[in-house]
Amino acid sequence: MSLNKHIQSIVKSSLKEDSCQSDITTICAISSKLKGKGIIVAQEKGTLAGIEVAKTVFKLINKNIVFKALKKDGNSFKKGDDIASISGSLQTILTGERVALNFLSLLSGVSTLTKKFVEKTKGIKIEIKDTRKTIPNLRILEKHAVCAGGGYNHRDSLSSGIIIKDNHLKAAGYITGGQLNKKRFGNLMNILRKKSSLKIEVEVESLGEFKEVLKYSPDIIMLDNFSVSNLKKAVCFRNKYYPKIKLEASGGINLKNIKAVANSGVDHVSIGMITDSPEVIDFSLYIK
């Protein structure tokens, strides 16, 4: 399904949740013939995401609404900037206001936080990636917002990438007592390569696990909750013996330590907080 079709589906569900066709307050207070204009204004600075979603909110309520985006996704804005204008039925503008602003606030929060991580690593060859820590049913929109902020997407779903995580290894006994069962793990890697052409990523929690897993040549190794010192050691070992394998840092990464993590030499970092705990951006809609 394309992004536009996803937007349509998600917005329809959100409008249904808000009972937009039964907005008794607006129906009684505002004549259906009354026309006007609304302006969406930023109440703080940030990086925009979700403008097409906001447009879809109003257009699905009333196809005759004229929505003019004054900023594009990925654009920076400051407090007081006009983001979009909406002209036409005032009933439509008032009914769609909250749903549209909710989407803009959430998605711009994601893009704004992503942009902060990207700016912290400016000049360093590294990719800032999201994770699957997203709001259920809003993943495609949040991942779009990550890209608007200059980040990159990790796998979109369980079917779009292979990541053997620590719980897989422990649950099925591939690792016991901190030791990798080489025969069983080797068999697993062979099975995955026969069943799929997807890249294989393996999560490790120590330098010892890292050096063992390297021998099976996964495409990517996730270094989970490694100190910066151990990240550097892993990078040096990889560069010397397995230069084609990509390294991903994950776990405990924030705006205070991202530059140090990036300077360790890993290829990319995955950061859950950019989608699971961004601060929303405040927007308002004013009737002119």
**Residues annotated as part of the active site:** 98, 133, 165, 203, 224
Task: Write the single-letter amino acid at 35.
Answer: K
- Alpha carbon of residue 26 to chain centroid: 35
Residue 226 CA to residue 88 CA, distance in Å, equals 55
- Cα 274 from chain centroid? 6
Q: In 3-state terms, what secondary structure has residue 194?
A: helix
What are the counts of helices (DSSP H) followed by strands (DSSP E) for the chain? Answer: 11, 14
Q: What angle do CA 69, 72, 75 make, to 5 degrees?
A: 135
Q: How far apart are CA 43 and CA 208, in angstroms?
A: 50
Which amino acid is present at 41? V
Give the contacts of 34 (CB within 8 A, at least 6 positions apart): 89, 90, 91
- Nearest partner of 250 among 149, 109, 120, 127, judged by Cα: 127
CA dihedral 151, 154, 157, 161 (to 10 degrees): 160
Element (H, E) at 83: strand 82-89
